[in-house]
Structure 1
Amino acid sequence: MDYLLLKYLHVLGAIVLLGTGTGIAFFMLMAHRSGDAEFVAKTAGVVVVADMVFTASAVVVQPITGYLLADLMDVPLWEGWLGVALLLYGVAGAFWLPVVWIQMRMRDLALESARAGTALSTAYHRLYRIWFLFGFPGFGSVMAILWLMIAKPGL
């Protein structure tokens, strides 16, 4: 496969990961801050779909295009900056997978509250705090990977 096409697809995947992650975080934060269970439920529903369509697609494309690029350039996968990037990719995934489940559960709990006409539950708020905290290492790992891809430091 052509190097420039692979690089384009790889960069596009990084943009989708960062863009979707930023958008999801912003919209979930704004919905949560509203305290409106129905708004939270609808927003979380859209967020779950966005994660499944965009983030999951990029999560699949990134390692494939990354591997093909490394192979094309004869860069060893587990050495230097690329090895660190792969480890960080694992960290990002370890935090993203539970976040997807948490978002689904938050959606369901908010929907229950909206239907009952009650405030968001303690269980919802506990999950929100975990979701919020997991965003830092998950998103931070992706940001660090982007820097490694650009700088390619000698490690």
Structure 2
Amino acid sequence: MSAYPRPIQQYGALCFRNTPRGPRVLLITTRETRRWMIPKGWPISGLKPRKVAEREAWEEAGVIGKAHKKPFGEFVYDKVMQDGSGARPVVAVFLLEVRRCRKRFPEMEERESAWLAPFEAARRIEEPDLERLLLKFGRMVERAELC
């Protein structure tokens, strides 16, 4: 039997914005392990998945924007739950074009953040599936399919 018996759903936001130096994506650190990650969280009753992604982006990174209606992709990672058990969340990732950034937001004291070129962001990520999504996004914006 696997140490991670059941996949569980989460929703995440691949936050991006255009800058004079080209598109940038937002990475934040996780609270416990301080790994680089995108904003993500658990389903919220009454909210559509893309709205959950928008809320997580605000709470964890202080960014406000509109998430695309359909997921851009998904990634899986291993998580240790508060009770010590293991889980393997499947994160549906929505592209979110950032319109505003706030200096004050709910988790501002708990995380670091960085705006990076997509390929640079991919190098900081430990989860292979998320790294692939960042590289896919980078190739898309290079071909001007987005932004």
The TM-score, its normalising length taken from structure 1, stands at 0.28
- Rg: which structure is higher? 1
Which of the pair is proportionally richer in strand? 2
Which of the pair is proportionally richer in helix? 1
